[in-house]
Amino acid sequence: MCGIVGYIGRRNATEVLVDGLRRLEYRGYDSAGVAVMSDGELIIKRSVGKLENLEKLLNGDMPVGHIGIGHTRWATHGRPSEANAHPHRAGDIVVVHNGIIENHAELRKALIKKGHEFSSETDTEIVAHLIHQFTEQGHSTKDAIVRSLAKIRGSYSLVIMNVKDPDTLYLAKLGSPLVVGLGNKENFVASDIPALLPYTRKMVFMEDGEIAKMTADGLVVRDKDLHLVKKEVKTITWDPLTAEKGGFKHFMLKEIFEQPKILEDTYGGRVAPGTGKVILKELDPLFKDGKFIYDHIYIVACGTSWHAACVGKYWLERICRIPVSVDLASEFRYRDPIINKNTLFIPISQSGETADTLAALKMAKEQGAKTLAICNVIESSIARLSDIVVYTHAGPEIGVASTKAFTAQLTVLLLIALAFGRKLKKIDASDVEKRVAELLELPGQMKKMLDNAGVIKAIAEKYADSREVLYIARGVHFPVALEGALKLKEISYVYSEGFAAGELKHGPIALIDNGTPVIALTPNGYTYDKIMNNVEEVSARGADLILLTDEGNKSDSVKAAATIYIPKTSWYTSPILYALPLQLFAYYVADHKGTDVDQPRNLAKSVTVE
């Protein structure tokens, strides 16, 4: 949440900052601002609302300078307003911040007592005042920052500029992400990789507790004890074009359509057709003499990633016969879960920065669990903190509603389940071979469904004005129904809820009235007859049915208002295919209603505060 960016070098800093903010806008979009040193003068421009408002403000009045910082905000302390927009200034000190200063109230009180005057309601302004107070006392900018950070409780990534030191940016990180991009006589810093991709592939990832001094020619990083740290420079292989819309109306639509390729990228190199093997060497340390060292798996995540985790439980338990618990990170961390050295803890996160998932991971590590992350963003905090990482190769996901990351997470979970199952000899090589063959068919099947997206568009437009939409499913498809409902509510603001169909009679069926839209996932398999009974029950009570079912199925007894046919595959791969029409349905409803699909109200990608 909140995107920060900084630049120092030969280009016009304002242009680089605004471009970076555009690529970070998915992190927050209720106000934005830049601060640039121009002809020895500090110019700050801020505006409420989307970045385009800031761009309008800068149009014809753009400060030109070689150093600056910028911010796009998701409000935590203080409503969205120009005064609360970053950068914040106190004397010569200017700051942009992502995170939360938890002891802001007491610090503010103490500073006010000393005569500091505040111009915003934010926690961030306190940081500027603290640093200013120490520079006024004669401390160097670096020392003033160190002294200020010692007083702060909470999480932050900070980029700081001192007007009196106009060739340097100071950086600090604790709990929120910060990436430095190294250029030729220019350097960049941002919350996330996509902001830097057009400029450089050489990146340095700041660790918690580190502070840094960045000039156009260099980067000096120190750890929490102020010892110099030699940082590894990583080369990022993401293609900058994957962070562009590429002719699509929205990032979300583009990302939905990218899925056939993403699946290939995610299983590519990890399956060896004809051998009955899944190649995930990363998993080897989890086995000793062919035996799995752990007696319990915990999968913890938030939102869409949690839905992937729920599907993973069905696969892992059925294929590997290992007990699996799934938990929401925000619940897990405040319970007293039973974790020990015999636990394998799997955090799932697209961004790798979600505050609750990160905190749950830290907690599991402290209690001795072995940790295996499923992450999309390379070198993210969750990836770096985990003992083992299996990356989903979904590329940058910009649309706030997760789509391609979800199906990539499912693909990785299935691969892990197959790899574990084979190692534990719970599944034959020939069965693995069948599952792999089905996986390899998915991209083609998805392409076929995407070619027919118009059918789903027409259905979505018919239901776009619905007050609510209910989703029902059973078994491994139940979490997919939950995910479909989440997609719809978050981008179209239509109330939607997913139910385990077997639970309907325990309460939810009371919601069904004449014309209530119900989307039913009815794939073939051992729950088919059961879900069809539930479909009949809601139909008998007046539901307006949209049936998702396998190609070739005839559900004559049920009067569906619309039927969407899904290419035939097995129980294992079917959830990946069933997710796709639900994503399209949500997208087309939202687009028809004219909501801001890529930046839905109140939301932000990468929830770095709890």
Give me the residues that bind ligand F6R (CB under 6 A), please.
302-305, 349-351, 354, 357, 401-402, 486, 490, 606-607
Annotated catalytic, 605? yes
- Minimum distance of ligand F6R from residue 27's CB (angstroms): 11
The residue (of 94 and 360) whose beta carbon lies closer to ligand F6R is: 360
The residue (of 328 and 424) whose beta carbon lies closer to ligand F6R is: 328
The residue (of 23 and 422) whose beta carbon lies closer to ligand F6R is: 23
Three-state secondary structure call for residue 151: helix
Q: Which listed residue (2, 302, 310, 375) is catalytic?
A: 2
The residue (of 152 and 190) whose beta carbon lies closer to ligand F6R is: 190
Three-state secondary structure call for residue 86: coil
Q: Which listed residue (45, 254, 370, 605) is catalytic?
A: 605
- Rg over alpha carbons for the chain, rounded to the nearest Å, is 25
Q: If you search the block for the tokens 């960049």, which residue do you land on?
A: 188
Taken in order 557, 559, 565, 569, the sign of the CA dihedral is negative
- Minimum distance of ligand F6R from residue 377's CB (angstroms): 8
For residue 563, CA distances in Å to 32, 112, 137, 145, 533 come to: 45, 65, 72, 61, 17
- Minimum distance of ligand F6R from residue 588's CB (angstroms): 16
Cβ neighbours of residue 285 closer than 8 Å, sequence gap 6 or more: 387, 388
In the numeric block, which tokens belong to residue 43?
Answer: 């110019």
To 10 degrees, what angle do helices 51-58 and 13-24 make?
160
The burial of 457, by beta-carbon neighbours within 10 Å (0-12 exposed, 13-18 middle, 19 or more buried), is given as middle
Supply angle C-alpha 36, 37, 43, rounded to 5: 60
The residue (of 48 and 308) whose beta carbon lies closer to ligand F6R is: 308
Cβ neighbours of residue 113 closer than 8 Å, sequence gap 6 or more: none
Annotated catalytic, 310? no
The residue (of 557 and 602) whose beta carbon lies closer to ligand F6R is: 602
- Minimum distance of ligand F6R from residue 110's CB (angstroms): 35
CB hemisphere CA count around 64 (13 angstroms): 3
- Minimum distance of ligand F6R from residue 392's CB (angstroms): 10
Distance in angstroms (rounded) separating the CA atoms of residues 308 and 417: 13
Closest chain position to ligand F6R (CB): 303
- Minimum distance of ligand F6R from residue 462's CB (angstroms): 24
- Beta strands (DSSP E) in 11-153 are 31-38, 41-48, 67-73, 88-90, 93-101
**Hey, which residues are catalytic here?**
2, 605
